[in-house]
Structure 1
Amino acid sequence: MRMFYLVCLVWNASLCFYDTAQADSPWKIGMVLCLSGECAFDGHGALKGAQLAADELNKGEGVLGRKIQLVPEDTAEAVSGAKAVSAFQKLLLDPEIKYFIGPSWTPGGLALAPLAARRPDLIITSPSLGAAEFHKAGDNIFNARGVDESASRALARLAIDKGWLRVAIWSSQQPWEQAQGNFFEAEFKKIGGEVTLKIEGLPTITQLKTEAAKVLASKPQAVFFSIVVQQGIAAKALRQLGSNLPIIATYIGQTGIKEAQGALEGALMCTIANASPSFVERFKNAYPEEKAVEAIPAIGYDALMMYAKAVTTAGSFETAKVGHELRRMNYKGESGSIKFDSEGGAIRETQFMLIVSDKQAPLELVSE
């Protein structure tokens, strides 16, 4: 009997020690994001957005008494997921890291999803990739941005509405870019459109005048870009050949706009998230060097805030309990309302945007 009481005493003491040690330690969040290469704009944006959320929470008591510490690793995943796997595995060496934000783009997401799915003790949420295959891989995997299929299909319908019945598709062999080209093509043909040419080259090619000439020779009324890595140089190649064809794209980021040197002015895109004015103001105050604030920093902010809310509601850092809270959460965030579907993808509404003076502007506001 004395031995029983002694064992109980030691067990309870160990629990108290564990709870105290956990409360005294920071809550580490692994940030597996693209911090170099063509996708770095999105990765740095998400990291800064999450850091803003962490700073705001840390000004108080943190989350359940623990301060937040972001631990970033570069995935450099624009065309390959190999470095994303290395970054993820490096962060897994720290047993305190059970929560992750990332990766940034589909190559990293498709590479990490099977690894994350085999670790149900972890939770990972992407702030920026738009492929459903990522979050469908496991119950512990979430996508706070939502999928881009709806945007690509909406652009096909917009093209028909504008009378552009003949469209060339400029895609690539990069998984996300190829998928968006296929979504646009399927929707466009279904509603009576004609695809004059479909390019699916390597995403690493930087000399695109030959491809641009082929596009113009097919005599389209508009060009659809599912390319992101090459969109700036592709747009510039078209304009240098004298083309004034309308350009429509699933996504146009600041990296592409900068590389295009004005060639993407007037291009149409479709977004599934936007940063709130309040967030833009706070973000620019925290990072004065940021001139253009798109949706990804706001989604990075929301991803961390959703973790914090789920942990607080669960009253625990246990990932099983927190995952349950995330799945039933209806979050009013800085990037819009976020509610996950049964597979972990955010349900979002589409909005058309126009590139005006190298910035994204809502189409309905520009048209008024």
Structure 2
Amino acid sequence: MSSFSDRLVSAWYQPDFNPLLTPLLPLSKLVEWQVRRRQHQYHLNQKSLWQPPVPVIVVGNITVGGTGKTPLVAALVSALQRRGYRPGIISRGYGAKVDTFPAVVLPDSDPARLGDEPVMLAEMTGVPVVIDPDRPSAARYLLSHHECDVIISDDGLQHYALVRHIEMVVLDGARWLGNGRCLPAGPLREPADRLAAVDFIIANGKPVAEVDEVTCNIMTLVPTRLVNLKSGKPMPVSDWGELDEPVHAVAGIGNPGRFFESLKSLGFTVKEQAFPDHHAYGSEDFAFAGGQPVIMTAKDAIKCRRFAHDNWWYLAVDAKLPDSFWEQVSAKLSDFPSSFQSVSANG
């Protein structure tokens, strides 16, 4: 039997308004009012806030649930490094259990203590990662301990204490804005017109909605390899032998169906095992496996390595975006004063 939260999310993304949501409409209006008030206060007080001495790029979303921000952040780091920049990452550190903030995240940090996505980003990118619910505090710490000339904020679009110079919003192309209503009668953290104020809109996959291709960049997550959880050894997807033999597909992300469909498109026969986003895995969660192969997302793998079996893998993906997107990002960065620029802007 599905939980109320499952039925609520399903109702958000139905083509027609679901009567289940009617009692929640007054709360949605209240959320929208509060959000607009905070936006207004930010614009009024922006000059009095701490002004970072380097450009800040916020990669966020206006819907709840995962949309593909993490692969975009990793791709952004690589693209900036190729152009001579020295990026660093800040994050709230959702689910982190540490005594004091800011906290430094390393590739071998415990995701149960420091958060799954920050640890994954530290491992994927190799750049400094600092977590703190207070984003300006994280940014100050990052700059005081590392020679970064660009800060990337993983999420934080709604964290208006942080001055930002470039805003990127990532949307799930298959889900888009759902019914277009704010929480809790819809999936939106902010009203849909917020999109008009951001610098870049990125669709993870082809959008179901009619969009202006000039203002919407389509991101494709390209599977590159399977990586063994125990050994860390990579293997081309094409080297997987028995595609007819079922594998357990595990996903604890915002939209597990996207991961399952990705595996099916590669030819796998999957047994779907969906978990809540940011699920804290234990070995008991895998009682279903029965010795059969398990393939999961990279974010799930970070939390499962300590009890992984020999035939557990994760699917590594790379975010691909149009060349025009990277050119526009470079152009916006080049608009900043020369003191913000990297020592080398080639590439």
Higher normalized contact order (CA 8 Å, seq sep 6+, divided by chain length): 2
User: Whose Rg is larger?
Assistant: 1
TM norm structure 1 = 0.37
TM norm structure 2 = 0.39
Give 1 or 2: higher helix fraction: 1
